[in-house]
């Protein structure tokens, strides 16, 4: 299939990479539409940064190919050198030149431009990134969040066709990370540059990405809309890794129906009656009621999240589930509360 048939700008097909006899990536495939942002999440060592390095051209794949804008950039047959790919990369460590000012860091790759062209491009990016008035300063004279904006500006300066972001918020505290996400969203909306992000923080991916993927042990387990990955995870690992939730025992009691300790649910599985499986229960699948009723749980753990409490409830069977409750319902640990089930997506795993 032509990767541009449906507007795809980045196409990665069956990508494999081995280092030192260890398989780092195994058959990774994904499509990313032009002017959109895709995010890859996964545990440490899953191959996220290696995937970016392959797209950037810093490594050569053993199998598969990488297409950018319809042009083959990497395959086992050879690679286009990184400097000829037109790809911008923002590293986790910022990697700014300490002896250059903010303006000169941003304009570093514009050495082929005239002075007036370079100054105009740098001035535009300083304004776009909220760095007006800081162009004369050096990296050690600005904050960590501002340094990361400079790194983004330097990657954007030469008008790349694709932007790669490697854990760009990991060194920032939560407040600065939220601020930078807001800035980055505005920048990407204006520049319309296709972007691939890898991150440990799922919240960052939810805030920014139109497509989300889960990478585990070198395999891309699922790639799609973030809503789909949260509500319709394909397997146990994705279910456990994306968002919060617990798996509780279930049994097929008739065709298209399973029974659990929290209720009976319709489903689309075709397993034999009597088959056992597990049901994914997200915190938003349960609704808190103040007065204990038919289904109760005792609070064994309580996490305050500002507008919400995340309660861990122990059911009569001893099994624990999670429920999110508006924070003005401020119950004590050890207290029993009622819950009702409001499950739209029934996800079962064997």
For the segment 162-208, what is each residue's pLDDT rounded down to a tens digit?
Answer: 999 999 888 788 888 888 899 999 999 999 999 999 998 888 899 99
pLDDT at 292: 66
pLDDT at 35: 95
Burial class (CB in 10 A: 0-12, 13-18, 19+), 342: exposed
Q: What angle do CA 180, 183, 186 make, to 5 degrees?
A: 150
Q: Pick from 101, 40, 80, 220: which is nearest to 161 by CA?
A: 80
Q: Residues spanned by CATH 2.40.50.140 within the chain?
A: 244-349
Tens digits of per-residue pLDDT, 35-74? 999 999 999 999 999 999 999 999 999 999 999 999 999 8
* All residues at 6 or more sequence positions from 145 whose CB lies less than 8 Å from its CB, including other chains: 172, 176, 179, 180
CA distances (Å), 192 to each of 52, 166, 185, 303, 323, in order?
Answer: 20, 19, 10, 39, 38
pLDDT at 95: 86
pLDDT at 271: 95
pLDDT at 5: 46
Mode of pairing for the β-strands spanning 162-166 and 194-199: parallel
Is pLDDT at 23 greater than 70 in this prediction? Answer: yes
Please give the biggest Cα pair distance in the chain: 76
> Which pTM does this prediction carry?
0.91
In whole angstroms, give the CA distance from residue 262 to residue 260.
5
Q: What is the rounded average pLDDT of the residues 220-227?
A: 97
Is pLDDT at 293 greater than 80 in this prediction? Answer: no
pLDDT at 91: 86
pLDDT at 2: 47
In whole angstroms, give the CA distance from residue 147 to residue 153.
10
Is pLDDT at 277 greater than 60 in this prediction? Answer: yes
Hey, what's the torsion of the CAs at 94, 97, 101, 107, to 10 degrees?
A: -80
pLDDT at 3: 42
Is pLDDT at 6 greater than 60 in this prediction? Answer: no
pLDDT at 78: 76
For tokens 């990479």, name the residue: 17
- Mean pLDDT of the chain, nearest integer: 93
Q: Residues spanned by CATH 3.40.50.300 within the chain?
A: 8-240
CATH architecture assigned to 244-349 = Beta Barrel (2.40)
Q: Which CATH superfamily is domain 8-240 in?
A: P-loop containing nucleotide triphosphate hydrolases (3.40.50.300)
Is pLDDT at 161 greater than 50 in this prediction? Answer: yes
């Amino acid at each position: 299939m032509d990767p541009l048939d449906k507007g795809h700008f980045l196409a990665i097909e069956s990508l494999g990479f081995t280092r030192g006899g260890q398989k780092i990536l195994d058959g990774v495939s994904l499509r990313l539409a032009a002017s959109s942002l895709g995010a890859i999440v996964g545990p440490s060592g899953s191959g996220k940064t290696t995937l970016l390095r392959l797209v950037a051209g810093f490594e050569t794949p053993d199998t598969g190919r990488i297409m950018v804008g319809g042009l083959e950039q990497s395959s086992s047959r050879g690679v286009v050198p990184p400097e000829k790919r037109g790809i911008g990369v923002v590293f986790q460590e910022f990697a700014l030149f300490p002896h250059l000012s903010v303006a000169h860091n941003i304009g570093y790759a514009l050495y082929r431009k005239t002075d007036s062209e370079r100054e105009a491009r740098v001035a535009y990016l300083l304004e776009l990134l909220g760095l007006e008035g800081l162009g004369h300063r050096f990296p050690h004279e600005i904050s960590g969040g501002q340094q990361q904006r400079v790194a983004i500006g330097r990657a954007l300066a030469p008008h790349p066709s694709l932007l790669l972001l490697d854990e760009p918020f990991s060194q920032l505290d939560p407040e600065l990370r939220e601020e930078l996400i807001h800035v980055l969203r505005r920048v990407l909306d204006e520049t319309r540059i296709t972007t691939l992000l890898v991150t440990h923080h799922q919240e960052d991916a939810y805030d920014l990405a139109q497509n989300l993927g889960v990478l585990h042990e070198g395999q891309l387990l699922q790639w799609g809309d973030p809503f789909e990955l949260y509500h319709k995870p394909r397997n146990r690992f994705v279910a456990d890794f994306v968002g919060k939730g617990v798996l509780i025992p279930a049994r097929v009691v008739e065709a298209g129906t399973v029974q659990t300790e929290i209720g009976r649910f319709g489903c689309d599985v075709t397993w034999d009656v009597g088959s056992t499986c597990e049901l994914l229960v997200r915190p938003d699948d349960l609704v808190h009621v103040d007065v204990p009723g038919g289904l109760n749980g005792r609070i064994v753990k309580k996490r305050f999240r500002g507008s919400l409490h995340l309660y861990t409830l122990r059911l009569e069977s001893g099994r624990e589930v999670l429920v999110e409750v508006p924070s003005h319902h401020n119950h004590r640990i050890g207290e029993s509360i009622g819950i009702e089930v409001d499950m739209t997506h029934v996800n079962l795993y064997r």
